[in-house]
Amino acid sequence: MGNSVYNVLFLCTGNSARSIMAECAINRWGKGDFKGFSAGSHPKGVIHPLTLELLTELKYETKGLRSKSWDEFATPGSPRIDFIFTVCDQAAAEQCPVWPGHPVTSHWGVPDPAAFEGTDQEKRRFFGRVYRELENRIKMFTNLRIDELDSFTLQQVLKEIGRAKLPDS
């Protein structure tokens, strides 16, 4: 691919939790080699309060984060996207826009923390677990030597990363 910075778009349906977490995590762990973005097929328009709470606890800058449509990234003048990861099963099954530049895509589905039911403490723990699973995958991804992998191998490695789970605690 030969880029100095890889642009990565995380997609979900509502763009209120998982994709927002992933955007923040790749911007942290990508160490300037990756620039993260997030969007949704049917964005909620607001970020889930527990997402913002968790990201603030983890010392992320949340100013400027917003829930937005994936259409913003399929228009002329939008950032060139090198990788697209769907983080929810529903978005993975939807008909996506045609992305300029034909980015590499993979499915990295994780459970929806916004749909989790339980006490406030259980919800917070679940949001944290989903974040850690995404963060784990992102760390694996950002440590790849992308330029040294042929497209077939890269696609296979990305699939494997998408299957990575956290050990049960």
**88 is a catalytic site residue:** yes
Q: What is the 3-state secondary structure (H, E, C) of 5-58?
A: CEEEEEEECCCCCHHHHHHHHHHHHCCCCEEEEEEECCCCCCCCHHHHHHHHHC
- Considering only CA atoms, which of 69, 73, 83 is closest in space to residue 35? 83
Give the CA radius of gyration of the chain: 15
Q: Which residue out of 52, 58, 65, 96 is catalytically annotated?
A: 96
**12 is a catalytic site residue:** yes
Q: Which residue out of 8, 9, 12, 154 is catalytically annotated?
A: 12
Q: Which residue out of 8, 22, 39, 88 is catalytically annotated?
A: 88
3-state secondary structure of 165: coil
From the CB of residue 154, how many other CB atoms can be counted at a distance below 10 Å?
18
**24 is a catalytic site residue:** no
Q: Looking at the DSSP assignment, which residues form a beta bridge with residue 86?
A: 11, 107
Q: How many helices (H) and strands (E) does the chain have?
A: 5, 4
- Considering only CA atoms, which of 77, 75, 85, 4 is closest in space to residue 37? 85
Give the residue numbers marked as catalytic.
Answer: 12, 88, 96
